[in-house]
Amino acid sequence: MRIGLNAGHTLSGAGSGTSGAIVESIETRRVCNRLTEMFKSAGVEVIPCTVDKAASQSAYLQKAVNMANRTDLDYFISIHFNNDKARKGHGVEVYTYKGRQYPDAVEVCEHIAALGFTNRGVKEGSGLYVIKKTKAKSMLIEVCFVNDPDATTYQQKFEQICTAIAYALADYVQAAPKPVAPVQLPKVKKYVRVLMDGLAVRKCASWDDSAVDHKVQANEVFTITEGPIKVGSGRMYKLKSGLYITAAEKYVSVYEK
């Protein structure tokens, strides 16, 4: 398994990122360096895709993507830190292409959040250059915010955060031995995995076309809160989002973790 690791932003000047109680461009490199050590020790090949200096933000992005695309990667992972000028933002979030709820991205959020951060979830990342332009499956991890209280928690739990990322991704990048989870999630959750592209997720427990909220793709994963429940001649699961999805084994599979 070969993954590309990108420490978001240049070290200084154009494309250097944000700062607060901590400096994004410094911390992205700390996280990437530690993840590189962890993955390599677990037999995963790591390709550096970090750019320290560029003439502009767009030049930085192009260089990072070129580094990723010139090697046949299985994964591309970009590390970032968030900022909210009002200093009200908190927590971890992950961006994927079209916001697809892939299990690896979902688990990164859950395991970092378990260390004391708000889980902001998996979000639409199609507009982000490194998500849109890399050939490999890509995710951009916003570890936390550069302002307190996130920054202080991050500094106190740096090693645990890196381990949480490595643990969440271990099964998907074929890392062995798998790291020990820094914090066990509070309880086993039930998930539904989509088996086909274009499956409808519904606003209510109804098979009517008017109930369709949006459609999802194969391998997306959602947390089940209830079900299966009988709906007409079929069955559905209620999801954490409040939406509903079919429980038919032809279209979805269920697992616990």
CA 61 – CA 57 distance, rounded (Å): 6
According to DSSP, residue 97 is labeled G
Q: Which residues contact 117 (CB under 8 A, 6 or more apart)?
A: 90, 91, 92, 144, 150, 153
Q: Which domains can be identified in the chain, with CATH numbers?
A: 2-173 (3.40.630.40), 190-256 (2.30.30.40)
For residue 95, what are its two tokens? 């961006």
Distances (CA, A) of 54 to 19, 31, 62: 19, 21, 10
- Kindly state the DSSP code that residue 2 receives in the 8-state scheme: E
The tokens describing 68, both together, are: 């990723």
pLDDT tens across 232-253, in order?
A: 999 999 999 999 999 999 999 9
**Each residue's pLDDT tens digit, 81-139:** 999 877 778 999 999 999 999 999 999 999 999 999 999 999 999 999 999 999 999 99
Q: Please tell me the distance from the alpha carbon of residue 205 to that of residue 234, in angstroms, as a whole number.
A: 10
Per-residue pLDDT at 84: 85
* Cβ(92)–Cβ(112) below 8 Å: yes
What pLDDT does 103 receive? 93
Q: Residue 49: which H helix or E strand, with range?
A: none
Please, what is the average pLDDT of the chain? 94
Q: What is the pLDDT of residue 14?
A: 85
pTM of the model: 0.87
